[in-house]
Structure 1
Amino acid sequence: MLARVFTRYLLECKVPSQWKTSRIVLLYKKGNQQDISNYRPICLLSVVYKPLTQVILNRIERTLNEEQPCEQARFRNGFSTIDYMHTVTRLIGVSQEYKMPLCLTFIDLRKAFGIVETEAVLEALGNQGVRTQYIRIFRELYSKFTSRILPFYDDITIDVRRGVRQGDTVSPKLFTAILEDVMRRLERDKMVLRVDNRLLQHLRFDDDVVLITPSFS
């Protein structure tokens, strides 16, 4: 039953309007409980919506994985932060031993999942070889989407015009796809070091990035 329904939605690139709404629950992290920034928003989606995006993920995951470089370790089998810690330690050690200039810039993108533009995500998917059919269904899923949020007192309904969905299994892959698109635009000839016969420009673990450059400029 679900397989037939999902197949029709994927072919027509149309989904029910009921799937285009969610409820946002705020999970307290730490700090002042009256400060909204101290809460993590979790998007509660339709119980049928999430299996559909899982089906889509199963179909596009291999394509996206093949486009990810060795610099990205998050959400990938066989990659670990331990390898990256060793790489950074080795970089520092070689720099000190041979008195070579080295600049490591650590970047932690705040609220990264919520700031990306939908069109930029779709463009990144196209640039990385995802079939047009799946880009169209993502455009449909993300268009005219609303969320109901209960911050402290009464429900508020908001239009969601950017970001990927917290709690959706496909969201991490969408985010790493757009981050890969951004990193490809950097001037590789000016921001690069050679490590063990490999050219390294940066290291990534989801939204945590280390830029590796031979100077501050």
Structure 2
Amino acid sequence: MAQCKVPSDWKSSKTILLYKKGDREDFKNYRPICLLSTIYKLFTKIILNSLSRTFDERQPREQAGFRGGYSTIDNIFVLNQLLQKSLEHNLPLCLVFVDYEKAFNSVETNAVLIASKQQGIENNYIKLLSELSNGCSTEITLFHSPLRIPVQKGVRQGDPISPKLFTTCLEMVFRNISWSGGANIDGEWITQLRFADDIVLVSRDTTEAEKMLHELDQQGKKVGLKVNVAKTKFMQSDGLRGTTLRLNDI
């Protein structure tokens, strides 16, 4: 660990396909599951135990996913409060439920390392995280023939430290965005709530919501994240009915 080197076997994994439903001949109906070395996962769990507090302390209160002392139920409660106040006081409210395409598999490795350093992770751990992500590959068997595929981006599925690395990278995205407005609850303004990789944008009109979504999309692309337009949903209060929300003219 002091030399920031790990066995090459730890960088190899095996991917299996689990059938979900639908046509068995369609690959879209299978979920890929990555199987990592148990010893490797024990090792990264030890690293996580050392760094977890640093990761968590630098996260804002809006992030409730994969964080000690927080629960996504807290953010659900806040959403309920927003909706109730909007109905009771006839206040305009726009909510955008943002979904990313293959979020954990898409973030750029270099962006994760930069974000971790900005989060206050010491240099020796940054070097170790870089070593753990460098030269990884996975083997998948298709039509009875094994195929080895290099893994060049994303955080590793099934790795104990991956959720923290992802939310750290996402926090770097938000630090590059400056939003004003949003909705007020008990004197505090809220512009967004985070459920790990799922995000809810909060605004008072569709113009503001569209601007926020565009800015988030632009900053997210810098680290490899892409908004899934088909799965991103928009909710608005009755007074704003009839308005639409667009991202990149879609």
- Counterpart check, 1:19 vs 2:19: no
1:155 is paired with a residue of what secondary structure? Answer: strand
**Structure 1 unaligned spans of 5+:** 1-9
Number of equivalenced pairs: 207
* Residue in 1 that maps onto 2:198: 208
Q: Is the 1:63–1:128 Cα contact (8 Å) retained in structure 2?
A: yes
- Counterpart check, 1:132 vs 2:123: yes
Percent identity between the two aligned chains? 47
1:150 is paired with a residue of what secondary structure? Answer: strand
Q: Is the 1:26–1:151 Cα contact (8 Å) retained in structure 2?
A: no
Show CA shifts across 1:151-195 (max 9, x none): 443111111100111111111111111111112222222x53322
1:106 is paired with a residue of what secondary structure? Answer: strand
1:119 is paired with a residue of what secondary structure? Answer: helix
* Residue in 2 that maps onto 1:77: 68
Consecutive aligned runs of 4 or more in structure 1 exceeding 4 Å deviation: none
- Counterpart check, 1:63 vs 2:54: yes
2:206 is paired with a residue of what secondary structure? Answer: coil
Q: Distance in 1 between matches of 2:68 and 2:128?
A: 27
| RMSD (Å) for aligned C-alpha atoms | 1.7
Aligned-partner residue type, residue 100 of structure 1: L
Q: Distance in 2 between matches of 1:18 and 1:85?
A: 42
Provide the TM-score with structure 1 as the length reference. Answer: 0.88
Q: Distance in 2 between matches of 1:78 and 1:59?
A: 17
Q: Distance in 2 between matches of 1:149 and 1:64?
A: 33
Shift of 1:35: 2.3
Deviates more, 1:70-79 or 1:105-114: 70-79
**Structure 2 unaligned spans of 5+:** 208-250
Provide the TM-score with structure 2 as the length reference. Answer: 0.77
Deviates more, 1:23-32 or 1:100-109: 23-32
1:81-120 maps to which residues of 2 (within 5 A)?
81-120=72-111
Q: Is the 2:193–2:200 Cα contact (8 Å) retained in structure 1?
A: yes
- Counterpart check, 1:194 vs 2:198: no
Shift of 1:51: 1.4
Deviates more, 1:163-172 or 1:197-206: 197-206
